Amino acid sequence: GENVEQHPSTLSVQEGDSAVIKCTYSDSASNYFPWYKQELGKRPQLIIDIRSNVGEKKDQRIAVTLNKTAKHFSLHITETQPEDSAVYFCAANAGNMLTFGGGTRLMVKP
Amino acid sequence: GAVVSQHPSRVICKSGTSVKIECRSLDFQATTMFWYRQFPKQSLMLMATSNEGSKATYEQGVEKDKFLINHASLTLSTLTVTSAHPEDSSFYICSTRGQGKFYEQYFGPGTRLTVT
């Protein structure tokens, strides 16, 4: 089955700096890669996703890149703000289901 | 995205009792719902896939007789934790596959179960 590795597990940045979270996956058949943001005690919220037919997707301050050959994808957050502090999860589909990475706790210091 | 509700948001029960958690899709008919379990500071672990009108598909290592799933309608799936023990204490979250979107999932707010 699919295996998704996520790094780093924690990331601390200064407000205004950029943050990058990286994920690798094992199943070359995976073609959908979403990113979720989860604040403490709340539900994961889909913030951006990418499908295998594109290499990059942007939405304001967040962007995701995908390298299908190397089987890795990354989340980029620019101009970080304190409200970006949360746990971020990447995922990859295995058939109809999603396999999640271990999560990255992002802390943005004001 | 899809709107998903869960009830209750928090529940405390005694060891040996059963607890039922409801997951509702509020704005569309969901033929498939997923149940996840999340321990503190850990990732989301898929427990089972709930299919309307048929038996749920459980992930390896998840006891189907302990975690009973019923998906009797297109808007409601329930998870019953039977004979709960303290090690079952966790955050249980359901999700639905978005309408018309084959892979996107939208999560409910979660249920925090504490077994004393």
> What pLDDT shows up at residue A94?
85
> What pLDDT shows up at residue B102?
67
Token reading at B90: 């966790």
> What pLDDT shows up at residue B72?
81
* pLDDT of B99 strictly over 80: no
> What pLDDT shows up at residue A58?
96
Cβ contact B104–A96 (<8 Å): no
Q: Whole-angstrom Cα distance, residue A110 to residue A99? A: 33
> What pLDDT shows up at residue B101?
62
Helix, strand or coil, per DSSP, at residue A15: coil
Q: pLDDT tier at A75 (50, 70, 90 boundaries)?
A: very high
A98 touches chain B (CB under 8 A): yes
Residue with tokens 């050959």: A69
Dihedral sign for Cα A85, A87, A91, A97, please: negative
> What pLDDT shows up at residue B76?
93
Provide the β-strand partners of residue A74: A22, A65
* pLDDT of B68 strictly over 90: yes
Cβ contact A32–B34 (<8 Å): no
- By residue count, chain A amounts to 110
- Contacts with B108 from chain A: Cβ below 8 Å: 43
- How far is the alpha carbon of A106 from chain B, nearest alpha carbon, in Å? 13
> What pLDDT shows up at residue B52?
85
Cβ contact B103–A45 (<8 Å): no
CA–chain centroid gap for A110, Å, is 22
DSSP state at residue A85: -
Q: Average pLDDT of A43-72?
A: 94
Write the pLDDT tens digit of every residue in B19-66: 999 999 998 788 889 999 999 889 999 999 998 888 899 999 999 999
Q: Please give the backbone phi and psi of residue B3, each rounded to the nearest 5 degrees, phi first.
A: -105, 125
> What pLDDT shows up at residue A1?
81
Which of A13-27, B21-35, B67-81 has maximum average pLDDT?
Answer: A13-27
> What pLDDT shows up at residue B100?
62
> What pLDDT shows up at residue A63?
98
Q: Average pLDDT of A30-50?
A: 94
Q: Please provide the average confidence, as pLDDT, over all residues in chain A.
A: 95
Q: Whole-angstrom Cα distance, residue B34 to residue B2? A: 14
Write the pLDDT tens digit of every residue in A77-106: 999 999 999 999 999 998 888 999 999 999
Q: Please provide the average confidence, as pLDDT, over all residues in chain B.
A: 92
3-state secondary structure chain B: CCCEEEECCEEEECCCCCEEEEEEECCCCCCEEEEEEECCCCCCEEEEEEECCCCCEECCCCCCCCEEEEEEECCEEEEEECCCCHHHCEEEEEEEECCCCCCCEEECCCEEEEEC
Token reading at B20: 């039922």
Q: Whole-angstrom Cα distance, residue B116 to residue A39? A: 26
Q: Is A100 exposed, middle or buried (0-12, 13-18, 19+ CB in 10 A)?
A: buried
* pLDDT of A15 strictly over 70: yes
> What pLDDT shows up at residue A95?
81
Residue among B32, B42, B107 whose CB faces A44 most closely: B107
Q: Which of B27, B30, B28 is nearest to B52 (CA)?
A: B30
Residue among A42, A96, A102 whose CB faces B43 most closely: A102
Amino acid code (one letter) for B110: G
A33 and A56 in contact (C-beta within 8 Å)?
Answer: no
> What pLDDT shows up at residue A32?
93
